[in-house]
Chain A
Amino acid sequence: MSAKTLYDKLWESHVVRTDENGTALIYIDRHLVHEVTSPQAFEGLRLAGRKPWRVSANLATPDHNVPTTERSGGVSTIVDPISRTQVETLDENCNSFGIPEFKMLDPRQGIVHVVGPEQGATLPGMTVVCGDSHTSTHGAMGALAFGIGTSEVEHVLATQCLIQKKSKAMQIRVEGRVAPGVTAKDIVLAIIGEIGTAGGTGYAIEFAGQAISDLSIEGRLTLCNMAIEAGARAGFVAVDEKTIDYVKGRPYAPSDENWEQAVTNWRTLHSDEGAVFDKVLVLDGSAIKPQVTWGTSPEMVVSIDQSVPDPAGEADDVKAGGMRRALEYMGLEAGTPIEMIRLDRVFIGSCTNSRIEDLRAAAEVAKGRRVAESIKQALVVPGSGLVKAQAEAEGLDEVFIEAGFEWREPGCSMCLAMNADRLEPGERCASTSNRNFEGRQGQGGRTHLVSPAMAAAAAVAGHFIDVGKLD
């Protein structure tokens, strides 16, 4: 038997059938559902008189539209009537089709990509989908996880399957050890800076190497979360003992009788010695520094000790044009040192960086310091109700509040500004989210992507600063 990649193994174990031109029907083990991309799918089911194929394979929670301010009154506290309708529609659909849902006031509610792993609802070896591109996150568990559109949401609901073609396999190895203060976020931004936002298009990416196996599971979730920003629908990491330890005891994890059998299976979830990838990229982890994006695409990224690049130095005309447009939108001059860029707001949260380790890293920086006077708002939005409770048990909420941060309820929040949390036109934000697209955090808003520690450091300094240099 020839050596297989992890992707081969994940793919092959889910093929229901393949037709003559290579199009496969693959089985989906876990379908995560949120309020934005599901209403039209449920409506489609209803119109066709169809029922969900296997309700227990689904798990829903509202996240994009929920307010992060006081909301103990439930859905009725959502001020925007259209947002409220969307959350109510999710509740109604889950009720009527019998789909398990963590509703807005459930302590387990949160960002769907934080909730899945936290509950053990996304497990090694699974296929995981959601009508959300950041579903790649769950690949950190050694799962094949990818985002789908609403037509496919309906397809999975109705058939528990998807029609897919196998992608090509890429391995990205980050060798060596990263320096202290360099996080999973910096690693993935550095990768995107290297291969570009289309570098992974058509590929499923396996992240490997010393710097990746050194990451905690939460770090790997951050890493895989942004595989889509490199163009890859799916990114994943092989299962190791950290993965198994992480899963053990979680509510949806296998019970005692199945545990040993599951673990035996999970230990095979790695690429075999000698497995061949369509493409391999090797990076030196020890050379990676804290990263800051300067433009309107995640590939427009530099290290904290660098300056905003000059389009004049770019040979490709289309690319140079894109850089000029980005500089204009961002209100930046080429050549400005990154550390000179001053911020208006800071956002710590999102499916990329809102887990307990992210909050601990930010709190460590915030502890005993104050948010700079010039910062209008510094938000900390935990990824789930359980993350929030854990942080509060550790006293992190007090650290943040004492330092001048706002401590909020869980949700997607200012990552995409579908709720009330957003930037005003022209405002500049240090954000731990995943996309710095034009208007992403509010029309005219300017986003710089960074790690949680770097965001907290920027909040304290009022401008970007290498977290290691903070007084």
Chain B
Amino acid sequence: MEKFETFTGIVCPLDRSNVDTDAIIPKQFLKSIKRSGFGPNLFDEWRYLDQGEPGMDNSRRPLNPDFVLNDPRYQGAKMLLTRKNFGCGSSREHAPWALEDYGFRVIIAPSFADIFFNNCFKNGILPIVLNEEIVEKLFSMAGHQQALALTVDLQEQHLSLSDGETIPFEVDAFRKHCLLNGLDDIGLTLEHVDAIKAYEARRQSEAPWLFA
């Protein structure tokens, strides 16, 4: 995984709550056996006016001009601002894959669904929980003629505005460490092979039916 570095990015405001994983990446695109290439189908049903199917040339499809991702102001956005319970529904990791493939590295919302939240960190995306009041303020700023750009500093755990104002955020220490260093979870876990084997030996004597 790539290391998560400080960057400045445009904020795309998606003003909906309970955005589910079927909306993030519709099921017809889950049939791929690869983990890349989902970006053009991110929010497919909202983003295009026709019905999307795998294998289509997405550059030729009619765009929905009313959908925020198609607004010229937000082209190249690296941060997604949205409402509560973002990513609810399925555990499909295709959702963060699609967001990442599109270019989003930060998602800001008042709350996230658990599985999605967890999946983000495995894919170099930082989901940031901010309170409703701050989210509301960011929505109003992001809606201006001039798109809002924020700088994210994970080491210092804050977002900063161009005027220097900073917005602190919380992040789990272990996840922060993994993101900053681009660490692979499996490699970290395999450092504890002995502990896993010791657990298995103990468990097998206590609950042999689990190992039958």
Q: Are B20 and A437 in contact (CB under 8 A)?
A: yes
- A86-B33, A231-B114, A439-B26 given. 19 additional CB < 8 A pairs? A29-B210, A36-B30, A36-B31, A50-B186, A82-B31, A82-B54, A123-B209, A147-B115, A149-B92, A149-B122, A198-B84, A198-B111, A255-B209, A258-B212, A259-B209, A261-B207, A297-B18, A297-B20, A435-B22
Q: Is B91 an interface residue (CB 8 A)?
A: yes
Report the nearest B residue to A16, measured CB to CB. Answer: B199
Contact with B along A427-471 (1 / 0, CB 8 A): 000000001011110010000000000000000000000000000
Q: Are B91 and A133 in contact (CB under 8 A)?
A: yes
Q: Are A133 and B89 in contact (CB under 8 A)?
A: yes
Q: Is A39 an interface residue (CB 8 A)?
A: yes
Report the nearest A residue to B85, measured CB to CB. Answer: A198
Q: Are B123 and A85 in contact (CB under 8 A)?
A: no
Q: Is B195 an interface residue (CB 8 A)?
A: yes
Residue of B32, B91, B172, B199 with most chain A CB atoms under a 10 A cut-off:
B91
Q: Is A148 an interface residue (CB 8 A)?
A: yes
Contact with A along B182-197 (1 / 0, CB 8 A): 0001101110100110
Q: How many residues of A contact B (CB 8 A)?
A: 77
Q: Is A126 an interface residue (CB 8 A)?
A: yes
Contact of B172 among A21, A64, A198, A202 (CB under 8 A): A21
Contact of B16 among A154, A255, A258, A322 (CB under 8 A): A322
**Min C-beta distance of A442 to chain B, whole Å:** 9
Q: Are B33 and A43 in contact (CB under 8 A)?
A: yes
Contact of A133 among B32, B90, B199, B207 (CB under 8 A): B90
Report the nearest B residue to A253, measured CB to CB. Answer: B209
Contact of B195 among A25, A36, A50 (CB under 8 A): A25
Q: Are B45 and A418 in contact (CB under 8 A)?
A: no
**Min C-beta distance of A68 to chain B, whole Å:** 16
Q: Are B91 and A417 in contact (CB under 8 A)?
A: no
Q: Is B93 an interface residue (CB 8 A)?
A: yes
Q: Is A293 an interface residue (CB 8 A)?
A: no
Report the interface size class on chain B. 35 or more
Top 3 A-B pairs, shortest CB-CB distance: A254-B209, A151-B122, A149-B93
**Min C-beta distance of A108 to chain B, whole Å:** 18
Q: Is B23 an interface residue (CB 8 A)?
A: yes
Known: A198-B84, A231-B85, A439-B26. A85 touches B33 (CB 8 A): yes
Provide the residues of chain A in CB contact with B172, threshold 8 Å: 21, 23, 165
Contact of B196 among A27, A82, A163 (CB under 8 A): A27
Q: Are A16 and B208 in contact (CB under 8 A)?
A: no
Q: Is A291 an interface residue (CB 8 A)?
A: no
Contact of B27 among A163, A417, A425 (CB under 8 A): A417
Q: Is B59 an interface residue (CB 8 A)?
A: no
Inter-chain CA distance A160–B203, complex, in Å, is 13
**Min C-beta distance of A229 to chain B, whole Å:** 8
Q: Are A133 and B196 in contact (CB under 8 A)?
A: no
Report the nearest B residue to A83, measured CB to CB. Answer: B31
Q: Are A439 and B33 in contact (CB under 8 A)?
A: no
Q: Is A402 an interface residue (CB 8 A)?
A: no
Report the nearest A residue to B120, measured CB to CB. Answer: A149
Q: Are A262 and B22 in contact (CB under 8 A)?
A: no
Contact of A150 among B35, B206, B208, B209 (CB under 8 A): B35
Inter-chain CA distance A436–B210, complex, in Å, is 37
Q: Is B58 an interface residue (CB 8 A)?
A: no
Tally of A-B Cβ pairs under 8 angstroms: 187
Inter-chain CA distance A305–B55, complex, in Å, is 45
Provide the residues of chain A in CB contact with B112, threshold 8 Å: 201
Q: Are B200 and A27 in contact (CB under 8 A)?
A: yes
Q: Are B186 and A159 in contact (CB under 8 A)?
A: yes
Q: Are A159 and B18 in contact (CB under 8 A)?
A: no
Residues of B within 8 A of A (CB): 16-18, 20, 22-23, 26-28, 30-35, 45, 51-52, 54-55, 83-85, 88-93, 96, 111-115, 118-119, 122-123, 172-174, 185-186, 188-190, 192, 195-196, 199-200, 203, 206-210, 212
Inter-chain CA distance A340–B194, complex, in Å, is 63
Report the nearest B residue to A15, measured CB to CB. Answer: B199
Provide the residues of chain A in CB contact with B90, threshold 8 Å: 132-133, 147
Q: Are A21 and B174 in contact (CB under 8 A)?
A: yes
Contact with B along A308-347 (1 / 0, CB 8 A): 0000000000110010010000000000000000000000
Q: Are B196 and A159 in contact (CB under 8 A)?
A: yes
**Min C-beta distance of A423 to chain B, whole Å:** 12
**Min C-beta distance of B192 to chain A, whole Å:** 6
Report the nearest B residue to A40, measured CB to CB. Answer: B35
A-B contact pairs, 21 of them (CB 8 A): A23-B174, A36-B31, A43-B35, A86-B33, A135-B91, A148-B115, A148-B118, A152-B118, A152-B122, A161-B189, A161-B196, A198-B84, A198-B85, A198-B88, A198-B113, A201-B111, A228-B115, A265-B206, A437-B23, A440-B22, A440-B27
Contact of A160 among B32, B196, B209 (CB under 8 A): B196
Q: Is A213 an interface residue (CB 8 A)?
A: no
Report the nearest A residue to B23, measured CB to CB. Answer: A438
**Min C-beta distance of B36 to chain A, whole Å:** 9
Contact of A37 among B34, B52, B92 (CB under 8 A): B92
Q: Are A261 and B209 in contact (CB under 8 A)?
A: yes
Q: Which of A13-56 contact B (CB under 8 A)?
A: 16-17, 19, 21, 23, 25, 27, 29, 36-37, 39-40, 43, 48, 50, 53
Provide the residues of chain B in CB contact with A85, threshold 8 Å: 31, 33
